[in-house]
Amino acid sequence: MDDRSRRMGRIGLVLVGLTLAVGCATPGNYRILMDRAVGESEERLVGSWGVPANSYSTGDHKFLVYNRWNQVGLQAGACQTTFKLINRGDHYEVESASWGGVGCIAADQ
């Protein structure tokens, strides 16, 4: 096998690996990730996501907004995620999540 054939073989293997990695990053996997956040405490959410870019409180609800740039393999883009939290008396917990943007993808969990 000559050098060119070996290089092409290596490039092919890299492309196959990237395709497999990218193929696992989907909006559906992001939905699963968001569904798992429901019921989490505000403390735990902020512990894993960090300080939100924005927040808003009204009545018994808080809204925490996160702006992220996600990249999984060759897929990348901006994603805005908003968590709606409800006051449970002694703590707030995630009631629901909404998101938008081409970067709202996640790898298999």
Tell me whether residue 16 is in a domain.
Answer: yes
CATH code assigned at 54: 3.30.1450
The C-alpha angle 62, 105, 64, rounded to 5 degrees, equals 10
10 or 14, higher pLDDT = 10
Q: Pull the structure tokens for residue 26.
A: 């989907």
The burial class, CB within 10 Å (0-12 / 13-18 / 19+), for 25 is buried
Q: What are the tens digits of pLDDT across the range 34-62?
A: 999 999 999 999 999 999 999 999 999 99
Tell me whether residue 105 is in a domain.
Answer: no
Tell me whether residue 109 is in a domain.
Answer: no
pLDDT grade for 108, boundaries at 50, 70 and 90? confident
Tell me whether residue 53 is in a domain.
Answer: yes
State which residues form the domain around 43. Answer: 3-100
pLDDT grade for 76, boundaries at 50, 70 and 90? confident
Number of domains in the chain: 1
Tell me whether residue 108 is in a domain.
Answer: no
Q: What's the rounded Cα separation, in Å, for the pair 90 and 12?
A: 56
Q: Does residue 75 surpass a pLDDT of 90?
A: no
Q: Pull the structure tokens for residue 45.
A: 């959410």
